[in-house]
Structure 1
Amino acid sequence: MPILTKNQFENLAKFDNNPCISIFIPTQRIGKDVLEEKDRIQLKSQWKKVNEKLKNFGLPQDKINSIAKPLDDLLNDSDFWRHQSDGLAIFMADGFFEKFTLPVNFEAFTYVSDHFYLKPLIPMFSGNTRFYVLALQLDRVQLYEGNLYSIGEVAVNDLTPSRLEDRVGYDYEEKALQFKSQNPATGDTIMHGQGAAERDRKNEILRFFRAVDEGLREVLHNEKVPLVIACQDSFFPIYQEANTYKNLYDKSVPGNPSDYENMLALHAATLDVLDPHFNKEKENKMNQFRELKPGRTSTAVSEIIPAIFEGKVDTLFLENREDIWGNYNENMASVDIHEEPNSTNMSLMNLAAIKVIEQGGKVYLMENEFMPAQDSKMNAVFRY
């Protein structure tokens, strides 16, 4: 599954047109709902809502139909609907159409404005959630790059040996035969040096893993993200000995990589292993919010958004599945908050989140009970 890149995200954030249409729906990978094409029905339902919004904005029907043409083609693509993940995000404008099938369970949502709604994608690009996972077997080596929501394979065939035989030149059945002989008097089989055979086996695996590690240096030499090993439990200590990458994670994904039915299953298992690592950064930021002196944090939207545009916000906490509607006048540094969305206002949460990401800050979408200050939908930690 290809990763939604930061460059694609930034291009969507910069896109400026009227109208810009954002549609999010949950999708199913397998099962009865796929056979009954419920995902396709869901998208049709969401488009009807968009169509009504566009009519209310005064857009002519022929213009609406022109914008909808790529969506109509997608709705008629049966093969596309048989190969879904957990969520589908679609971004549309006149002459523009992008779709992303992602392992993110979106809630059904539509947004029509002069910009795209990217808040549901924010966690994919906030904080250091990237990692590598090395699926290591004696007959196969695969490297993947992932984050909390996506994973994709990195080609390393020309950098690392793909199997142990390529490195040591023979297999272990042949090696084992070298430790057997017969008693010439009785004809009985005699086993020689079983301990030596095991040591030799470990040394050969170590040589193989060192060759793998050496090949990975070209990919990992400037990286600072975790490298997680997926391998048999007995192999992990050997790879630790061979490893030279400074950010090798101290726990491995259990079991043989071939036991996982596909890349997504391996991704899920890797996230389970990395869960303490990813939560640590968020917990540190939440502790900062609670411990910093007044003036270094805020729960007031009217204070936070101007601070964001001044580059002062280091970390932004937003309540998940909620929004704040209104407008921001950058020249006056003034925030106008409204009760409901309408044709002239915008999502202030979306505006704030995108701006913080652009500035290299961190944004966390959180349920209300986990927000640092639960009485506000928006909490911020300032840089200064």
Structure 2
Amino acid sequence: MPILTKEQFQDLAKFDSNPCVSIFIPTQRAGKDVLEEKDKINLKSQWKKAGEELKKLGFPQEKIEKIGKPVSDLLDDRDFWRHQSDGLALFLADGFYRQYTLPVYFEAFTYVADHFYLKPLVPMFNGDGRFFLLSLQLDKVKLFEATQFSIGEVKIDDIAPSQIEDRVGYDYEERGRKAKTQNTTTGTSTVHGYEPATRDRNNEILRYFRAVDKAVYEVLHNEKVPLIVACEDSFFPIYQEASRYKNLYSQSVPGNPEAYEDMFSLHDSALKTLEPYFKKEKEEKMQQFNDLNPSRTSSSISEIIPAIHEGKVDTLFLQNREDIWGDYNENMASVDVHEERRNGSVSLMNLAAIKVIEQNGKVYLVEKEFMPNKETMVNAVYRY
């Protein structure tokens, strides 16, 4: 699954052609909707809207068909529709086509202009959201580097013991087998074939986890992002004792890592556990808006757009599923707001989001009831 990088986002932002078509649709990973090909039907409907808009703007049918050829090919690609995530974004122009299958839910939307519409993508760029995920079992250890939208394995098998026997000796395995045999007779439960918890056993697990931590610390000692551990619940306190990493997350991913289908389902569970951590920064920025001197904030699009072009905006809050239409004259630093979209109108919220992300600021799409200033659709916190 190709994840949209910031460089690709910036390339889309700089792309200049007339016309540019941006299409967003929600997609399903599995289930009845996939079988009934509802995603394909949705895309077909959105492309029809785009074609009608292009026709209204005076573009010849031959050019419209040329721009839409990749969409037609995609609609015929049955295998493509079986491997979806939460959203599909398409960007089309004459001789240009990009598609991104992304773990972001999109409202179905089509935009035709002389630039691409990128506002729905901003959740991917609220900081990189990096973290590390340690999948920890007594017979298998894996370390992953992840963001909120991607995950990949970090190879540590050359520096970490692959199983507890490598650290405490094979007498541990032999005792485990004997305990399992005895417990089968007596009816006492075991954890994956190992003997019940005893002080000696916990000390051996601690030795093993310290060896794992040594390898993990070698990789992460200069990092400042969270490390979350997926392991048996009873193992996590032992790993907490063993770990020297200062940003070890205080909760573990619930359940045995072996129970997850793949690293993607493990990643999803880790994100749910980390949700309070990722919400914290957004909430702090919202509190800043309320606490700062009014000269350091604004809720006026006519003030905010010029301030963005001066590099003043640190954080931008945009009301989700809404737009402000108008025009911006960069030479005059003036904003003309239109009551509704008309020929020549651009999305000022899209313009603002793209520019703030280019300047490494934060952009949040927020439901109306959670906006810092609920009376307006755009709020900003200034850097100075």
TM-score, normalised to structure 1, is 0.88
| CA drift at 1:206 | 3.0
Q: 1:153 aligns to what?
A: 152
Q: 1:31 aligns to what?
A: 31
1:380 aligns with 2:380: yes
Q: Is the 8 A contact 2:20 2:113 kept in 1?
A: yes
| CA drift at 1:321 | 0.6
- Report the secondary structure of 2:246's partner residue: coil
The 5-angstrom pairing of residues 207-356 of structure 1 reads 207-217=207-217, 219-356=219-356
Q: 1:51 aligns to what?
A: 51
Name the CA distance, whole Å, in 2 between partners of 1:32 and 1:288: 44
Identical amino acids, percent of aligned pairs: 68
Name the CA distance, whole Å, in 1 between partners of 2:371 and 2:73: 42
| CA drift at 1:347 | 0.9
Name the CA distance, whole Å, in 2 between partners of 1:74 and 1:43: 9
Name the CA distance, whole Å, in 1 between partners of 2:244 and 2:378: 42
Moved more, 352-361 or 240-249: 240-249
Q: Is the 8 A contact 2:2 2:100 kept in 1?
A: no
| CA drift at 1:2 | 5.0
> What amino acid sits opposite 2:129 in the alignment?
T
The 5-angstrom pairing of residues 89-128 of structure 1 reads 89-127=89-127
The alpha-carbon distance between structure 1 residues 177 and 161, as it changes in their structure 2 partners (threshold 3 A), is: closer
> What amino acid sits opposite 2:51 in the alignment?
N
Q: Is the 8 A contact 1:46 1:108 kept in 2?
A: yes
Q: 1:12 aligns to what?
A: 12
Q: Deviations 1:207-237 (Å, cap 9, x if unpaired)?
A: 4333333333454344322111111112112
> What amino acid sits opposite 1:164 in the alignment?
I
> What amino acid sits opposite 2:111 in the alignment?
Y
The alpha-carbon distance between structure 1 residues 162 and 314, as it changes in their structure 2 partners (threshold 3 A), is: same
| CA drift at 1:379 | 0.4
Q: Deviations 1:263-307 (Å, cap 9, x if unpaired)?
A: 343233222222221222112111111111121111110001101
The alpha-carbon distance between structure 1 residues 3 and 232, as it changes in their structure 2 partners (threshold 3 A), is: farther
Q: 1:192 aligns to what?
A: none
Moved more, 27-36 or 2-11: 2-11
The alpha-carbon distance between structure 1 residues 70 and 128, as it changes in their structure 2 partners (threshold 3 A), is: closer
> What amino acid sits opposite 2:296 in the alignment?
R
Moved more, 373-382 or 116-125: 116-125
> What amino acid sits opposite 1:151 in the alignment?
S
Q: Deviations 1:321-351 (Å, cap 9, x if unpaired)?
A: 1011111111111011112223412111111
- Report the secondary structure of 2:295's partner residue: coil
- Report the secondary structure of 1:116's partner residue: coil
User: How many corresponding residue pairs?
Assistant: 368
Q: 1:129 aligns to what?
A: 129
Name the CA distance, whole Å, in 2 between partners of 1:226 and 1:87: 27
The alpha-carbon distance between structure 1 residues 14 and 241, as it changes in their structure 2 partners (threshold 3 A), is: farther
Q: Is the 8 A contact 1:176 1:197 kept in 2?
A: no
RMSD: 2.4
> What amino acid sits opposite 1:90 in the alignment?
L
Q: Is the 8 A contact 1:2 1:151 kept in 2?
A: no
- Report the secondary structure of 1:39's partner residue: helix
Q: Is the 8 A contact 1:3 1:146 kept in 2?
A: no
1:72 aligns with 2:76: no
Q: Is the 8 A contact 2:226 2:249 kept in 1?
A: yes
Question: Where does structure 1 lack aligned partners over 5 or more consecutive residues?
Answer: 180-194
| CA drift at 1:205 | 2.8
| CA drift at 1:257 | 1.3
Question: Where does structure 2 lack aligned partners over 5 or more consecutive residues?
Answer: 180-194
> What amino acid sits opposite 2:239 in the alignment?
Y
